[in-house]
Amino acid sequence: MSDSNVRKIGSREATWFLVILFVSKILFADINEYINFSGTAAYIQTAWCAFATLVLFVVTSYLSGGDDIFSASYAALGNVGMKSVGILISALLLLDAGVMFRVYADIIASIALPDSSDFFIILLLILAAGVAAFAGVGTLASYAYIAGIVLVSSLALILVLNIPNYTLSNIYPLLGNGGDKILSGIGGINVYADIFLVFLMSVYFKKGESVKKSGVKAIIISGIVITVTTFLYILTVPYPASSGFALPILEIAFDVNLDVIFQRAEGLFLFLWIFSGFILIGAYLSFSVLSFERTFNLSDRRAVIGVFLLIAVCIALCADTSSLKSEVYTAFYKVFTAVAFILPPIVFGIKRLRR
Amino acid sequence: MKKLIFVICICVVMLSGCGGKEIDDMAYVVAIGIDATEGGAYDFTFAIGNPNSINGGGGEDAGGGDSNVLIFETETGESIFSAGDAVSARVGQEINFSHAELLVFSEEVAAGGVDNFIDALTRNLNQRPKLIPAVAVTTAKDTLESINSKFEGNPEKYLKKLFESKDALTLAAIDSRDFLCRTKNPDSGLAVPRMSVGDSITVGAMSVFDGDTLAGAFDDVLSYKLLCGMGEDITYDIENSGSLILNQRVKPTVSVSCYDVPKISITVNLDASVASAKPDVAKEDLYSAAELSLKGRIFDLLMFSSADMGVDVFGFDKYARANFLTWGKWQEYNWREKYKTAQFSLSVKIKPEKTGLITGGA
């Protein structure tokens, strides 16, 4: 069964689907990376990265002319080129799913289920990711409309509950580690690396112009959410201590204490974490299967889901020790970002030149 | 159907319980004391809530809730958690830090640096970041054992009142997370309650930390409260004149100009009502006398922090940083050294809390 025949999605669903993928990143240590780079001006760097991503995306989507990356790579590079691009994307997404299995399982195990084995938690994640992969990208994106709003609302609730702990003087010096650092912090666009998935989804859209529309909207919404969250984290935890906490949103949640009214918000963070984890891993697995399906023109993508799940779990189990996991995650993330932002414009550009 | 399975998967994780742990199996620590030993390790004293005595307990044989509300267990070790594990094994209950309210260091431990303890506790997911750090004049063990909550059956609540109520003799303006953040900032110091032992514990002074190391102490908690903007319902006596009830509705306004010698301007605004006044003293004179008296006290404390100790206890660095655009420029300015020569311009303004009071009379 071809997933592209199952369900079409609108611009709204695609927008929120992408918002979930982007915003989920700040639940990890990505805010810390901004702060390590730009200090108290990290929020300016996040806004700058969102703007740069927007420009890159608009240029890429102009070059794409509404095509998806598979048909464009076939037209630009021939059958071998298309297969190479498809395998590369599929492998990267599968690796990402594996790494995410590990990261999410570890955090869930340490925060919420310390007495449970990692295997049990990974098993639950496998179940959710498997269901998501069977459902397909279209179904997952349709579900994401509500899920995205719930995710952003929950994050907003944590930030609102933390209002008494904001100290405005924490933003000084205004330019943090300097304007040159902010500008050279363009590497922070890795948070938006998943934007290239929109060029894999083209066949799912009801209208061709939705590709560009949903991408632009998603980057703007996520840019605002990530910038505001980073700004409020800086107001909560003074620099340089702010660069030392592994999970910034969890630190904000820890700080919430409205006396007798509301005393603990860690549960909200956990909700965000699990919620985004299921969707993120499900999305990577689904897109990996989709890429494989499109690359080899499979008639039934469901046949490969089991194998893909098994490979993802093996990757998760390989990245078992914390140091290895950290190195693997960092190195992989850099490669993933480079491919996500460089591959699509190259493929679409060559196709336009050959036209 | 697929959506339903997906939602069920989420719920399975969301609706997890407490991992099979019962409250009865836990020993809840309400205060931790740390003393140095001769061998270089530490003596950790845990004040654990006694479930049979707290608020009268739950059993038929429970007491009246006024005795033995705490059980004390001491263990030697390298870290709070290894000592906690040893105590758990000894008492047969699992030590739980989630209700801990107070962390007391002996002066010897504090002088050697406390960053490792604060860091470990703050990062521990089972521990709230709102622990109050304090320094014991004698040993931390003696100090904890002197906790005597005569009127409060719940020791955690008692400690909260002791440090955080408006009537507290001290001021716990810094919790363990703030402490950790301030120690990571080389420009800023901090003050925590200083506890001494008498019939019960007394907390009428503050200990000063430079980074994570004990640097000194001061007694004038009232001035510290006012500089922190936390003066509430303070009865202030003016010699041979009367007394005022002072309330601080707004935080002090602070501005710092970073010249070769930093100039720090502080305005403390207070509302006052007359509690008592001698017949021959006009209210305006009472306010003026209080302003003058408080200004002198606060100024002395400011000079003590800068000229004597050289530690920015009040965190003026955060206002000074507004003068600089980048961290590089700020670090070049070297606030830590400059603060030692800071000039203060202090203003204390007291205005009547209520207007339209009848003066004079028959």
pLDDT tens digits along A34-92: 999 999 999 999 999 999 999 999 999 999 888 889 889 998 889 999 999 999 999 99
Residue B8 lies in a domain: no
Q: Do both B138 and B243 map to the same domain?
A: no
Residue B20 forms contact with A (CB below 8 Å): yes
pLDDT higher than threshold 70 for residue A323 = no
Q: Do both B226 and B175 map to the same domain?
A: no
- Is residue A128 within 8 A of residue B10, CB to CB? The reply is yes
- Chain B residues with CB under 8 Å of A134 CB are 2
Residue B6 lies in a domain: no
Going by pLDDT thresholds of 50, 70 and 90, the confidence category of residue B111 is very high
pLDDT of residue B174: 79
- Which residue has tokens 């204490």? A257
pLDDT of residue A226: 94
* CB interface of A with B, residues 7-66, below 8 Å: 39-40
Residue A134 forms contact with B (CB below 8 Å): yes
pLDDT higher than threshold 50 for residue B149 = yes
pLDDT of residue A4: 46
Q: Do both B227 and B202 map to the same domain?
A: no
Cα–Cα dist A133/A140, whole Å: 8
Taking an 8 Å cut-off on Cβ atoms, the answer to whether B6 and A132 are in contact is yes
Question: Of B183, B199, B219, which residue sits at a domain end?
Answer: B219
Which is higher by pLDDT, B244 or A264?
B244
DSSP string, A179-233: HHHHHHGGGGGGGGGGGGGGGTSGGGBSSTTHHHHHHHHHHHHHHHHHHHHHHHH
Count CB atoms within 10 A of the CB of residue B303: 13
- Is residue B183 within 8 A of residue B131, CB to CB? The reply is no
Q: How many domains does chain B have?
A: 2
Chain B residue with CA closest to A267: the answer is B14
Residue B215 lies in a domain: yes
Q: Do both B79 and B138 map to the same domain?
A: yes
Taking an 8 Å cut-off on Cβ atoms, the answer to whether A127 and B325 are in contact is no
Q: Do both B105 and B186 map to the same domain?
A: yes
- Which residue has tokens 């105590």? B87
Residue B118 forms contact with A (CB below 8 Å): no
Q: Do both B181 and B269 map to the same domain?
A: no
pLDDT higher than threshold 80 for residue B202 = no
pLDDT of residue B62: 44
Q: Do both B214 and B228 map to the same domain?
A: no
pLDDT of residue B64: 46
Residue B9 lies in a domain: no
Using CB atoms, which residue from A134, A240, A271 is nearest to B2? A134
Phi and psi for B216 in degrees, rounded to 5?
Answer: 165, -165
pLDDT higher than threshold 50 for residue B300 = yes
Structural domain harbouring B82: 24-219
Going by pLDDT thresholds of 50, 70 and 90, the confidence category of residue B1 is low
Q: Do both B297 and B192 map to the same domain?
A: no
**Residue B166 burial class via C-beta count within 10 angstroms: exposed 0-12, middle 13-18, buried 19 and up:** exposed
Which is higher by pLDDT, B173 or B294?
B294
Cα B157 versus chain centre, distance: 15
Q: Do both B57 and B186 map to the same domain?
A: yes
Question: What domains does chain A contain, in order, with CATH numbers?
Answer: 4-354 (1.20.1740.10)
Taking an 8 Å cut-off on Cβ atoms, the answer to whether A173 and B324 are in contact is yes
pLDDT tens digits along B320-335: 999 999 999 999 999 9
At B22, which amino acid appears?
E
Q: Tokens representing A70?
A: 């598979």
Q: What is the CATH number of the domain that holds B283?
A: 3.30.300.210
Cα–Cα dist B85/B94, whole Å: 8
pLDDT of residue B344: 95
Taking an 8 Å cut-off on Cβ atoms, the answer to whether B177 and A255 are in contact is yes
Going by pLDDT thresholds of 50, 70 and 90, the confidence category of residue B60 is very low
pLDDT tens digits along A127-161: 888 888 888 888 888 778 888 888 888 889 889 98
Q: Tokens representing B207?
A: 């200990």
Q: Do both B171 and B251 map to the same domain?
A: no
Phi and psi for B329 in degrees, rounded to 5?
Answer: -65, -40
Please compute the mean of the pLDDT values over residues B344-360 and round it to a whole number: 75
Question: Of B171, B193, B219, which residue sits at a domain end?
Answer: B219
- Chain A residues with CB under 8 Å of B18 CB are none
pLDDT of residue A112: 67
Residue B324, min C-alpha distance to chain A (Å): 6
pLDDT higher than threshold 60 for residue B16 = no
Taking an 8 Å cut-off on Cβ atoms, the answer to whether A278 and B6 are in contact is yes
pLDDT tens digits along B238-292: 888 888 888 898 899 999 999 999 999 999 999 988 888 888 888 888 889 999 9
Using CB atoms, which residue from A110, A124, A244 is nearest to B13? A124
Taking an 8 Å cut-off on Cβ atoms, the answer to whether A131 and B5 are in contact is yes
H helix runs in A112-201, sequence order: 118-161, 179-184
pLDDT higher than threshold 50 for residue B93 = yes
Question: Rounded to two decimals, what is the model's pTM?
Answer: 0.85
Q: Which residues contact A253 (CB under 8 A, 6 or more apart)?
A: A158, A162, A265, A266, A268, A269
Residue A118 forms contact with B (CB below 8 Å): no
Which is higher by pLDDT, B199 or A130?
A130
Residue A57, min C-alpha distance to chain B (Å): 31
Using CB atoms, which residue from A169, A178, A271 is nearest to B318? A169
Q: Tokens representing B52?
A: 């049979």
pLDDT tens digits along B36-47: 988 888 999 998
- Is residue A218 within 8 A of residue A205, CB to CB? The reply is no
Cα–Cα dist B219/B118, whole Å: 24
Cα B110 versus chain centre, distance: 15
Residue B10 lies in a domain: no
pLDDT of residue B17: 53
Residue B16 lies in a domain: no
Cα–Cα dist A218/A211, whole Å: 11
- Chain A residues with CB under 8 Å of B321 CB are 169, 172-173
> How would you classify the pairing of strands B42-49 and B26-36?
antiparallel
Residue B199 lies in a domain: yes
pLDDT tens digits along A3-30: 445 567 788 888 998 999 999 888 876 7
Residue A115, min C-alpha distance to chain B (Å): 7
- Average confidence score pLDDT of chain A: 85
Taking an 8 Å cut-off on Cβ atoms, the answer to whether B319 and A169 are in contact is yes
Question: Of B219, B236, B268, which residue sits at a domain end?
Answer: B219
Using CB atoms, which residue from A108, A131, A143 is nearest to B9? A131
- Is residue A14 within 8 A of residue A205, CB to CB? The reply is yes
**Residue B28 burial class via C-beta count within 10 angstroms: exposed 0-12, middle 13-18, buried 19 and up:** buried
pLDDT of residue B21: 63
pLDDT of residue A1: 46
- Chain A residues with CB under 8 Å of B327 CB are 39-40, 173, 176-178
DSSP string, A234-260: HHHS-TTGGGG-S-HHHHHHHH--BTT
Going by pLDDT thresholds of 50, 70 and 90, the confidence category of residue B201 is low
Count CB atoms within 10 A of the CB of residue B15: 7
Q: Is A157 left (phi over 0), alpha (psi -120 to 50) or beta?
A: alpha
Q: Do both B44 and B164 map to the same domain?
A: yes
Residue B111 lies in a domain: yes
Q: Tokens representing A32?
A: 């810390």
Q: Do both B201 and B251 map to the same domain?
A: no
pLDDT of residue B43: 93
